[in-house]
Every structure is written in C-alpha cells, then in structure tokens.
Amino acid sequence: MKYFELIRGEQDKISLQAYGFNLLFSALLPATFIFWIFSVLEYDLLWGNVWNYRISFFKGYLMTIFLSFAALILSTILGIFVGLIQQSKIIALRMLARGYVEFIRGTPILVQILIFYYVIANAIGLDNRIFVGICIMSIFSSAYIAEIIRSGIESVSQSQWETAISLGFTKIQIYRLIILPQVVKRILPPLTGQFAALIKDSSLLSVIAIKEVTMAAREINAATFSTLESYLPLALAYLLLTIPISMMTRRLEKSYNYES
C-alpha cells in the first residue's frame, strides 16, 4: 500500500513540474514577442507621464467593476426569464420574447445606448447615468443569454422529456432533476464568452459620459499624449476581470462533467 502511495506521489510531483514548465513557457513566449516588438519600434515607455493620473484610473476601474457585475447579475436574471418565456405555450408571449431577442441582437449596442439614454430615459424622467447604463447593458446582454438558455433547453432530446413524463415526473421535477443539470453543463462555455463581452462592452458607456476605466484612459492619453502608457494598463485591467470569470467557469464545468 505504501508503495502505491509513493508511486502516486511521484506522479503528482512530475505532473506539477510539467504544469509549471508549460505555464512558464506559455508566459515567456508572448513576453518575448512583446519585448521584440518594442525593441524594433525603439519605443521607450514613459510611465512617469501617466503616474500622476493613477487615482483617476483607479476610480474609473472601480466604476467599471460596479457597472459590469451589476449588469451581469441583472442580465442573467432577465435572460433566464426571457429564455423560459420562449418555451411558453402562450403564442403571444413567445412572439414577444422572440421579437425582443431579435431586435436587441440585430441592432448595434452603441445605437441602443444613445436611443435608450437620450430618448427613452429622458421621456420617462431618468437622469441617473449609472442606473441607465446598467439597464442598457443588462437589456443588451440578456437577449444573448436568453438565446443561450433557449438553445440549451432545446438541446435536450425529446425522448428524455417523454421518459420523465411516463415515470410520473412533474414539470418542475423534470426541469430540476433532468433538464437543468444538462443545460448548465452545455451553456457554461457560451455564457462565459457573453459575460466577458459584457465587461468589455461597458467601455461604450463612455459615450453618455459615464467615467469608467476606458474613459479614464482616454482622458489620461489626451492629457499626457502617452498612448501606450495609457492603454496597456487598460488592457491589463480588463484581463483582471475576465480571466477570473473564465477560471471559475472551468471549475463549474468540471463539477458538471458527467455523461448526459
């Protein structure tokens, strides 16, 4: 028994070393490429030019975090609701949900931001830019989430529904015990992409004067004329938001990794 435990421990150690080597290689390769690019361009990064604006950048970053995660939660709730309505037996509700999804997905988000803020929000007396921005992002993203959920539900074969009904399952039991586990497993990858897109699309809210991190970077660039020094931290800031979502989703995928 101790012999097999020793062998297993050695295998884990080798696997960990191999993982560390591959991680180091995957990090060094792009770093070397970036270093080569800057050496060819002979561009000197002058971080001192933008350092004085670090507080403005940080405040913009906090605003981006707030906007993104508030919209993420609201869009998920709304997307689930619209996705389930598309499965309704009431034809009018299905058509309404379908029209909503097609209209939102078929028009640019920039146009939606401008129309929603300058037309709809003004008409109903909404003047809180942050609240309006969250609503716009939620409405836009929920249409894509609704389609992801609808396709996930419809991917479950009809025979599973019929078998569950023949066994006496109620509709709630069918969704909770049979449909939901399979749907969650199948929609996690596209949901991850949509959540990442939602975070990046929050940069467009600068057109209605919401000072999030992209607008802060633009202001720093305008004040210092240090383009790369302003936008490289911006790229890193978005990566720090999107990578944890991808990692968390992969862990969830593993927890649902079973044969359906």
pLDDT at residue 246 in the model: 83
Q: Provide the pLDDT for residue 259.
A: 54
**Structure confidence at residue 143 (pLDDT):** 94
Which tokens belong to 7? 């062998």
pLDDT tens for the chain, 260 residues long, are 444 444 445 445 556 677 676 767 777 777 787 777 777 777 777 788 888 898 999 999 999 999 999 999 999 999 999 988 988 888 888 899 999 999 999 999 999 999 999 999 989 888 889 999 999 999 999 999 999 988 888 887 788 878 888 888 887 888 788 778 788 888 888 888 899 899 999 989 988 888 889 999 999 988 888 888 888 899 899 989 988 888 888 787 777 665 55
CB 214 within 8 A of CB 206: yes
pLDDT given for residue 257 in this prediction: 65
pLDDT computed for residue 58 by the predictor: 92
> In sequence order, which residues have a C-beta less than 8 Å from that of residue 118 and are 6 or more positions away?
208
Q: 92 and 122: one domain?
A: yes
Say yes or no: 102 and 169 in one domain: yes
Please indicate, yes or no, whether residues 81 and 182 belong to a single structural domain of this protein.
yes
Q: Which residues contact 150 (CB under 8 A, 6 or more apart)?
A: 83, 86, 87
What totals of helices (H) and strands (E) does the chain contain, helices first? 12, 0
Number of domains in the chain: 2
> Residue holding tokens 């696997």?
15
Look at residue 15 in the predicted model and tell me its pLDDT.
Answer: 66
Q: Containing domain of residue 30, as a range?
A: 1-43
**109 shares a domain with 166:** yes
Rounded to a whole number of angstroms, the distance between the first and last alpha carbons of the chain is 35
Which residue in the block uniquely carries the two structure tokens 């009431």? 90
Encoding tokens for residue 37?
């690019």
- Quick check: is 260 in a domain? no
Question: Could you tell me the CATH number of the domain that includes residue 192?
Answer: 1.10.3720.10
The whole-angstrom separation of Cα 32 and Cα 43 is 16
Regarding whether 192 and 67 lie in a shared domain, the answer is: yes
CA quadruple 137, 140, 146, 149: dihedral sign: negative
